[in-house]
Amino acid sequence: MTTNIVEFLNSILHDEREYLVAAIFNSIAHRFGEIFRKRYAEVDNSKTIFVPVAKTILRENMTEGDKLYMNNINGSIDEFTMLGYERSAKVNLSRRSCSCRKYDLVKLPCANAMATLRLKHGDEYGTSIYNNCSQIYLKESYLLVYLEPIYAVPLESEWSVAREYLKMQILLPNFNPKLRRRKVKHVKGVLEPSRYKKRNKCSKCKRSGHKRITYNLNVG
């Protein structure tokens, strides 16, 4: 997960690596500002209670849950057991928990929890699903995340620096010109354009595979 995020950022900020520090931050603010505005508009224009991604997950879990059979063994109104399909699971609706751990981690009813809600509320259990989901998937909660603006770095003339820092003398570190940064192999991201090695061409025939010095040998 972390590697995928780093590769994604590495691919979209490919050109910015050669900028000055302030320009890098301004470019990042501009790029992410566009992404935030786009996602905000997409969710704001939707007519659903939950964000589209959560709706898709719930729809898939409902389809899978319709194939499962739940049983209320101990008579509790919130504890149910699923048996069959070479597996078993225990669901606790009050704790929003399932032994498969999907309900605990994602905070959306898994297929087992969907079957439990169907058993408890009948075939018209669709309205009870939202009450058993985390509020972080609400449309309003999602919009609040992308509401705050990303501020750009102001001009250097507008910087406010304390006097003690202005008077501070910073000495350059000891530097040996013979020592250089160790070369690290760069792992290209999925979206990062590849750079092919330029192949030399013969200045006489304009073909690749040989040079002008060896032109006669290749012709012969």
Does residue 90 form part of some domain? yes
pLDDT digits (tens, 9 = 90+) for 136-195: 999 898 888 888 878 888 887 888 888 888 888 888 777 666 666 666 666 665 555 555
Same structural domain, 32 and 61: no
Residue 11 vs residues 7, 25, 26, 62, 193: alpha-carbon distances, Å: 6, 16, 17, 37, 8
CB-based contact 86:69 (threshold 8 Å): no
Same structural domain, 19 and 96: no
Does residue 19 form part of some domain? yes
Same structural domain, 19 and 94: no
Helix (H/G/I), strand (E/B), else coil: 203:
coil
Count structural domains, the chain. Answer: 2
pLDDT digits (tens, 9 = 90+) for 80-92: 888 766 778 899 9
Overall pTM surpassing 0.75 (yes/no) = no
Domain boundary among 125, 141, 157: 141
d(CA 80, CA 35): 42
- Print the domain residue range for 128: 52-141
Does residue 194 form part of some domain? no
Does residue 6 form part of some domain? yes
Same structural domain, 69 and 135: yes
